C-alpha cells in the first residue's frame, strides 16, 4: 500500500469511526494502480477488477452493497446479481443494495452488451461474495479461537458451534475486503441454494408500475432546464444559415446553442423547448448531399458496390468426402432499427471544471472517455452515472444524447440540462443494425448428410460505439469536428458480422468467408445479437432446405449433424415440448418450423419450434405459437430467463416479419412508427412456452440475445412448411409472401 491510500483511509476512518476504505476512493485507486499479475486470473470481471471491495462493501452497521459496472437495461440482472450475492454471502435478499454502472463508484466493465452481464459481472460478484464470506469466517475463527470449519454462516452472521453469533458488521474491519481476489473461490454447492435458482420478483418493477422515479426521463434536478437539439436533415448536411434571433425572443427560451452544425435550444419549460425547436428547425437552412445507396438494391450494394476485406474464418477439408446433390441460396437482411419506445434522453450539469452526466448508455466508462475527448477535458473530470432509459437492445441514441447534454450544459454552467430526443430524431439518427448478405452453397452425400458447406457473409462492422469522440453525433457536428473513426471488425470467437457464421454443426468439408465492409453508407452499430441474427437465420433456413433435399425431418437432420450434447438436448427438449413428430402435417394454411443455435457458439443454447399461419389471400404471416428450450448454464432467476426468451421471440418476430429502415438518396425516410411499423397486439402469438434446462454449478451462459436468430429461422421455415415457398429476403412481409405464393 502506498501513500494515497493511507491518506484516503485516514480520511474515511475519521468520518465513519470504523470500517473500510472509502469505496469510491479505493475504487479509483484500484483502477489506476497497475494490477500485479495473478496467475491464473480470477474468474469473470474479477480478472480486470480484482479487488473484492470493487464488488462488495460491508459497513459496520451491517449494510451490504453490491457493485456492478454493468447497466440495468430492463433485462432484470440487477435482481439476479442481488440473488447471486445474497446466496454466496449468506445474507437475506432484501438486506442487499445493488449499485450499477457509475464511473465514480463501480468497476470498469466496459459495455453492457453481448449477453455478457451475468457471465462477467455475475461471475465476479459470485466469486467476490464467496471470498468475502471466507474472510469473514476466518476473522470469526480468529476472534473465537476456533477452527473456521466449525463455524457456519447464516443471515449475515457467523455462528459458532455453541451458538455465539458475530454479525458481518461486527466482523468487518478497515481494509478486510480491499484485497485481491484469489483465482479460485469455494463456491456453495448448488444443491444448497436457497435464493439462486428462484424466481425472485424484480426489484425495479414496483416503481415502474406506480409512477416512481425509474428512468433518466424522470430525473428532475433543482433549477433544471430543458433542451432540444435540431439535427441536420440528413447525413453530412451543412448548416448554411440560421437566424435564431426570433427564437431567442420566444417565451421561456434561455439560450440557443450553436457550434458548427450542432444546433440546440434551451428553455425553462419542456414544451417551450419543443416549440422553440420547431421554430429553430424552420430557421435553419441546410445544404444536403445525395449520397445514400439504393435501398432496393442492397444485394448489389453490399456484394459489389462497397470495398471489402475478405478472410477465410473457418476451413475443414476431407477430400475423400464429396457431395452428389448441390444447392445454393442467397439471403439478405435490411438495415433495422433498435426502435426504443422512449427516445434517448440525458441530463448533464457542469460545475467548476467538472461535468456529471446521467445517461442510459450501455458503457459509462467508454462514454466518459468519448465525452471527455469531445469537451477536451480530462476523463477524471467527467462522471457518467447510468440511469435506466427505455430498452435499447444495443447501441441506440443513448450515448449521443449524453454528449448532446454535456455540450449544451457547458454553455449553461451550474444548471442541470435535460435533453430529450424526439421520435423522428431517434428513428432518423440512431445507428442502425447493419444490412447483411449471405451466400450459401452445400452438397449432400449419398448418406443424406452434408458433404460440404460454403458460407459467405458480407457485412459492415457491428460496433461503432464510442470510446473515441468521433462516434458521437455532437462531436461530428461541432465546428471543430471529430472524424468518425475507421470501422474495425469485432474479433472472433465472438465476432461481429461473422458472429455465428461458423456452423456449430459438424460438416466434413466447410469453408466460411467473412467479407468485411469498412465503408458505412448509413450510420450503423450494435443491435441485439449483431450478425448472429442474420447468420443464424441463413444457416438454419438453409439447413431446412437441405433437409428437404435429403427428404429428412428437419429436427432429425439437425441432430444428425450435431455432436454437442447440450445442443442436442436443447433441440430434443424444444421438439418434445412442441409435440414435433416426423412427417406430421400442420392444420390447413399453417406450417411448423424449427431452428437452433448456440449464441456466438459459446453462450446460451436455444432451440425454437414455431407454428405460423399464412393467409394465402393477403400473404399475412402470423406466429401462432412458439416453444423454446434454452440452456444458459446455472440459472439464477428462471422467470427472468423466461422473460428474456419470450421477449426475444416476440422482438425477433417483429424484425423478421415487418422491419426495414427506408431511405431515399439523401434522407432516412423511416422516421416514426407509421413509416417503421413494428409488431402490434393483433400479431402477438397465442402462446409462448419456454423450457429451461438448468445446469447447476455450470458457468453462467449469456442468454439475452440467444433467441433472436432461431426465432427468425423457425418462422421462415414454418412459412415454407405452410406455403411451399422459401423466403430468403428479410423482412418476410405480406407482399413478399403473397408474391411468392402467386409466382
Partner 1 sequence: MMTLKVNGQDHQIEAEPDTPLLYVLRDDLKLNAAKFGCGLGQCGSCTVMVDGKAVLSCVTPMVLLEGKQVTTLEGLGTISEPAPIQRAFMEEQSAQCGYCIAGMMMRAQALLLRNPKPTDEQIRAEFAPHLCRCGTHMRILRAVHRASRLMDTADASSSTRRSAQ
Region 398-437 residues binding partner 1, contact defined as CB under 8 A: 420, 422-423
Q: Which of 59, 170, 204, 556 binds partner 1 (CB under 8 A)?
A: 204
Backbone phi, psi, residue 239, to 5°: -80, 110
Count interface residues toward partner 1 (CB under 8 A).
62
Least distance to partner 1 from the beta carbon of 377, Å? 30
Least distance to partner 1 from the beta carbon of 144, Å? 41
Check binding of 306 to partner 1 (CB under 8 A): no
Q: Which of 102, 109, 388, 404 binds partner 1 (CB under 8 A)?
A: 388
Which residue do the cell numbers 455475475 mark? 122
Q: Which of 142, 152, 220, 735 binds partner 1 (CB under 8 A)?
A: 220
CA-to-CA distance for 399 and 50, rounded, in angstroms? 28
Whole-angstrom CA distances from 321 to 184, 443, 449, 471, 508 are: 46, 10, 10, 48, 7
CA-to-CA distance for 643 and 75, rounded, in angstroms? 8
Q: Which of 3, 34, 37, 209 binds partner 1 (CB under 8 A)?
A: 209
Region 566-595 residues binding partner 1, contact defined as CB under 8 A: none
Q: Which of 1, 205, 300, 380 binds partner 1 (CB under 8 A)?
A: 205
Write each residue from 457 to 476 as x if it is in contact with partner 1 (CB under 8 A), else as -, in one continuous string: --------------------
Handedness of CA 673, 111, 462, 468 (dihedral sign): positive
Contact 630, 692 (CB under 8 A): yes
Closest CA to 707 of 690, 728, 686, 683: 690
Dig out the grid coordinates for 343 from the structure.
Answer: 427516445
CA-to-CA distance for 212 and 202, rounded, in angstroms? 15
Nearer to partner 1, 287 or 687 (CB): 687
Residues 439, 443, 444: CA angle, nearest 5 degrees:
140
Check binding of 527 to partner 1 (CB under 8 A): no
CA-to-CA distance for 608 and 620, rounded, in angstroms? 21
Least distance to partner 1 from the beta carbon of 93, Å? 16
Please identify, among the stretches 210-218, 279-287, 304-312, 533-541, the one whose residues bind partner 1 according to the rule CB under 8 A: 210-218
Nearer to partner 1, 423 or 585 (CB): 423
Beta strands in 303-445 (DSSP E): 309-316, 325-333, 345-351, 354-359, 382-386, 417-420, 436-444
Region 72-91 residues binding partner 1, contact defined as CB under 8 A: 73-76
Region 595-634 residues binding partner 1, contact defined as CB under 8 A: none
Dig out the grid coordinates for 738 from the structure.
Answer: 403473397
Least distance to partner 1 from the beta carbon of 417, Å? 14
Check binding of 688 to partner 1 (CB under 8 A): yes
Nearer to partner 1, 521 or 707 (CB): 707
Backbone phi, psi, residue 412, to 5°: -130, 65
Partnered with residue 677 across adjacent β-strands are none
CA-to-CA distance for 576 and 609, rounded, in angstroms? 10
Backbone phi, psi, residue 119, to 5°: -60, -45
Check binding of 6 to partner 1 (CB under 8 A): no
Region 47-76 residues binding partner 1, contact defined as CB under 8 A: 73-76
Nearer to partner 1, 580 or 658 (CB): 658
Residue burial 565-586, b: 16+ Cβ < 10 Å; e: rest: ebbbebbbbbbebbebeeeeeb
Least distance to partner 1 from the beta carbon of 85, Å? 21
Closest CA to 495 of 420, 601, 389: 601
Whole-angstrom CA distances from 562 to 11, 543, 567 are: 60, 12, 8
Measured from the Cβ of residue 560, the count of other Cβ atoms closer than 10 Å reads 17
Residues 293, 298, 303: CA angle, nearest 5 degrees:
105
Check binding of 277 to partner 1 (CB under 8 A): no
Nearer to partner 1, 271 or 289 (CB): 271
Dig out the grid coordinates for 599 from the structure.
Answer: 449464441
Region 255-274 residues binding partner 1, contact defined as CB under 8 A: 269-271, 274
Least distance to partner 1 from the beta carbon of 565, Å? 30
Write each residue from 639 to 678 as x if it is in contact with partner 1 (CB under 8 A), else as -, in one continuous string: x---xx-xxxxxx--x-----------------xxx---x
Check binding of 339 to partner 1 (CB under 8 A): yes
Q: Which of 11, 184, 206, 696 binds partner 1 (CB under 8 A)?
A: 206
Q: Where are the alpha helices (DSSP H) in 172-265?
A: 205-208, 245-248
Q: Which of 9, 57, 202, 523 binds partner 1 (CB under 8 A)?
A: 202
Check binding of 201 to partner 1 (CB under 8 A): yes
Residues forming the site for partner 1 (CB under 8 A): 73-76, 199, 201-202, 204-215, 217-218, 220, 226, 269-271, 274-275, 339-343, 388-391, 393, 420, 422-423, 639, 643-644, 646-651, 654, 672-674, 678, 680-682, 684-685, 687-688
Amino acid at each position: 500500500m502506498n501513500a494515497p491510500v493511507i491518506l484516503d483511509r485516514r480520511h474515511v476512518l475519521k468520518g465513519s469511526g470504523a470500517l473500510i476504505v472509502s469505496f469510491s476512493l479505493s475504487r479509483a485507486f484500484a483502477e489506476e494502480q497497475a494490477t500485479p499479475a495473478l496467475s491464473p486470473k480470477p474468474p469473470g470481471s474479477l480478472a480486470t477488477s480484482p479487488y473484492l471491495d470493487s464488488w462488495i462493501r460491508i459497513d459496520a452497521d451491517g449494510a451490504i452493497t453490491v457493485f456492478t459496472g454493468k447497466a440495468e437495461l430492463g433485462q432484470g440482472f440487477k435482481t439476479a446479481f442481488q440473488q447471486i450475492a445474497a446466496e454466496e454471502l449468506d445474507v437475506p435478499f432484501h438486506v442487499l443494495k445493488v449499485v450499477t454502472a457509475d464511473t465514480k463508484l463501480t468497476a470498469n466493465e466496459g459495455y453492457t452488451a453481448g449477453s455478457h452481464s451475468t457471465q462477467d459481472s455475475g461471475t465476479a460478484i459470485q466469486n467476490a461474495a464467496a471470498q468475502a464470506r471466507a474472510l469473514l469466517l476466518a476473522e470469526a475463527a480468529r476472534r473465537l479461537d476456533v477452527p473456521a470449519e466449525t463455524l457456519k454462516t447464516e443471515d449475515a452472521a457467523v455462528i459458532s458451534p455453541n451458538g455465539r453469533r458475530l454479525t458481518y458488521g461486527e466482523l468487518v474491519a478497515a481494509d478486510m475486503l480491499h484485497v485481491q481476489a484469489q483465482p479460485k473461490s469455494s463456491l456453495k454447492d448448488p444443491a444448497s441454494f436457497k435464493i439462486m435458482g428462484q424466481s425472485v420478483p424484480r426489484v425495479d418493477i414496483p416503481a415502474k408500475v406506480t409512477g416512481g422515479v425509474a428512468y433518466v426521463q424522470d430525473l428532475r434536478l433543482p433549477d433544471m432546464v430543458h433542451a432540444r437539439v435540431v439535427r441536420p436533415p440528413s447525413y453530412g448536411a451543412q448548416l448554411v444559415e440560421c437566424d435564431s434571433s426570433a427564437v431567442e425572443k420566444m417565451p421561456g427560451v434561455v439560450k440557443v446553442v450553436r457550434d458548427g452544425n450542432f444546433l440546440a435550444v434551451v428553455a425553462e419549460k419542456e414544451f417551450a423547448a419543443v416549440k422553440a425547436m420547431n421554430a429553430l428547425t424552420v430557421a435553419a437552412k441546410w445544404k444536403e448531399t445525395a449520397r445514400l445507396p439504393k435501398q432496393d438494391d442492397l444485394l448489389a450494394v453490399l456484394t459489389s458496390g462497397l470495398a471489402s476485406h475478405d478472410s477465410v474464418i473457418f476451413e475443414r477439408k476431407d477430400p475423400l468426402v464429396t457431395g452428389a446433390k448441390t444447392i445454393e441460396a442467397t439471403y439478405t437482411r435490411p438495415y433495422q432499427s433498435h426502435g426504443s419506445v422512449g427516445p434517448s434522453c440525458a441530463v448533464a450539469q457542469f460545475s467548476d471544471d467538472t461535468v456529471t452526466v446521467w445517461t442510459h448508455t450501455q458503457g459509462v466508462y467508454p462514454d466518459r472517455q468519448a465525452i471527455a475527448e469531445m469537451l477536451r477535458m480530462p476523463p477524471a473530470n467527467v462522471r457518467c452515472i447510468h440511469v435506466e432509459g427505455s430498452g435499447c437492445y444495443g447501441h441506440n441514441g443513448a450515448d449521443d444524447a449524453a454528449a448532446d447534454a454535456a455540450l449544451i450544459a457547458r454553455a449553461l454552467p451550474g444548471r442541470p440540462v435535460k435533453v430529450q430526443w424526439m421520435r423522428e430524431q431517434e428513428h432518423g439518427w440512431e445507428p442502425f443494425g447493419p444490412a447483411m448478405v449471405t451466400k450459401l452453397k452445400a452438397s449432400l452425400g449419398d448418406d443424406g448428410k452434408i458433404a460440404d458447406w460454403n458460407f459467405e457473409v458480407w457485412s459492415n462492422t457491428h460496433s461503432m460505439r464510442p470510446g473515441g469522440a468521433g462516434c458521437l453525433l455532437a462531436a461530428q457536428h461541432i465546428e471543430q469536428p471529430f472524424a468518425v473513426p475507421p470501422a474495425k471488425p469485432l474479433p472472433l470467437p465472438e465476432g461481429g458480422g461473422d458472429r455465428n457464421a461458423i456452423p456449430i454443426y459438424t460438416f466434413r468439408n466447410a469453408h466460411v468467408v467473412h467479407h468485411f465492409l469498412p465503408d458505412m453508407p448509413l450510420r450503423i452499430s450494435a443491435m441485439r445479437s449483431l450478425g448472429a441474427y442474420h447468420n443464424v437465420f441463413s444457416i438454419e433456413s438453409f439447413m431446412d432446405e437441405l433437409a428437404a433435399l435429403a427428404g429428412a425431418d428437419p429436427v432429425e437432420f439437425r441432430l444428425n449433424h450435431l455432436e454437442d450434447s447440450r445442443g442436442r438436448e436443447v433441440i430434443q427438449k424444444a421438439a418434445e415440448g412442441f409435440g414435433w413428430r416426423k412427417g406430421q402435417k400442420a392444420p390447413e394454411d399453417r406450417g411448423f418450423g424449427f431452428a437452433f443455435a448456440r449464441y456466438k457458439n459459446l453462450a446460451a443454447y436455444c432451440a425454437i419450434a414455431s407454428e405460423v399461419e399464412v393467409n394465402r389471400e393477403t400473404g399475412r404471416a402470423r406466429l401462432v405459437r412458439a416453444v423454446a428450450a434454452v440452456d444458459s448454464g446455472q440459472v439464477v432467476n428462471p422467470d427472468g430467463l423466461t422473460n428474456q426468451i419470450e421477449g426475444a421471440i416476440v422482438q425477433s418476430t417483429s424484425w423478421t416479419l415487418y422491419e426495414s429502415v427506408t431511405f431515399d438518396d439523401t434522407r432516412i425516410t423511416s422516421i416514426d412508427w407509421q413509416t417503421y411499423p413494428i409488431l402490434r397486439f393483433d400479431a402477438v402469438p397465442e402462446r409462448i412456452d419456454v423450457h429451461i434446462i438448468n445446469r447447476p454449478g455450470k458457468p453462467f451462459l449469456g442468454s439475452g440475445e440467444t433467441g433472436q436468430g432461431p426465432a427468425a429461422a423457425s418462422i421462415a421455415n414454418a412459412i415454407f412448411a405452410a406455403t411451399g415457398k422459401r423466403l430468403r429476403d428479410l423482412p418476410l412481409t405480406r407482399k413478399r409472401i403473397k408474391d411468392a405464393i402467386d409466382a
